[in-house]
Amino acid sequence: MAGVGVFESYARAKTGPRVDENEWDSRIIPQTARRLKEKYGLKIDKKQIIPTDGQLINNIFRAGMEMLVECGIYCMDTKRVIKFTEEEVWRTIKTAPRRVILGEGRDAVTLKARRFDEKTPPIIQGGPTGAPVAEQDFIAMHEAYAREPIVDTIVDGVLQTINGYDPSPNTPFEIAAVKSEAMMVRLAQARAGRPGMAL
């Protein structure tokens, strides 16, 4: 890990500049974004959803980099800003993962870089994507996704109830629901004959 990483980020969240959250939301973020838009002369045409102008593409990146380095990340609990230098960001870019294996055995797929004009298609992660699913239908619905040959990995839904109870955040039922979701997706994948498929 050559970037800043989570532990150093947390350390900075305890020592960084103190900022009022309302100031962050209503002044720092919009004003910085607007200023960078003007600085780099950014103009997006909604009819050209994918840009072809190389200068626009690179200026968007430079503006985004500057946005992060200038603003940092606001930690809502400590009310402080986690700052990064541009050098730290570039170090992360240079050492970022180029490929990742998702899943196991014959059901594993490799997530690796592809170009925008490349004929290799992206990985297809199918599922309800966090949408609520009735408890009694959870396994069947996810098995239907796992049975789709074009689906490579699963992104699961959330149980609407667990044994009939509301799995509200920060309650014992939330923990039970999260564990059940994982078990039920594993079962759905196995029933579809794809036990090593990633979740």
Site map (CB under 8 A) of another protein, residues 155-184, x = contact: x-x--x--------------x--xx-xxx-
Binding residue (CB under 8 A) for another protein from 78, 79, 165, 173: 78
| Cβ neighbours of residue 77 closer than 8 Å, sequence gap 6 or more | 13
Q: Which is nearer to another protein, 58 or 168 (CB)?
A: 58
CB of 163 to another protein, least distance (A): 16
Radius of gyration of the chain (CA): 22
195 binds another protein (CB under 8 A): no
Provide the terminal-to-terminal Cα distance of the chain, rounded to the nearest Å: 24
104-123: which residues touch another protein (CB under 8 A)? 104, 108, 111-123
Binding residue (CB under 8 A) for another protein from 18, 50, 87, 164: 50
193 binds another protein (CB under 8 A): no
Number of shown-chain residues binding another protein (CB under 8 A): 110
Task: Please give the full DSSP string across 78-115, using - where no structure is assigned.
Answer: TTEEEP--HHHHHHHHHHS-SEEEES-GGG-EEEE---
29-48: which residues touch another protein (CB under 8 A)? 29-30, 33-34, 36-37, 42-44, 46-48
CB of 17 to another protein, least distance (A): 14
Cβ(157)–Cβ(132) below 8 Å: yes
Helices 54-71 and 86-95 pack at an angle, to 10 degrees, of 120
Binding residue (CB under 8 A) for another protein from 15, 20, 23, 100: 100
22 binds another protein (CB under 8 A): no
Strand duo 158-159 + 132-133: pairing: parallel
The conformation of residue 76, written as its DSSP 8-state character, comes to: T
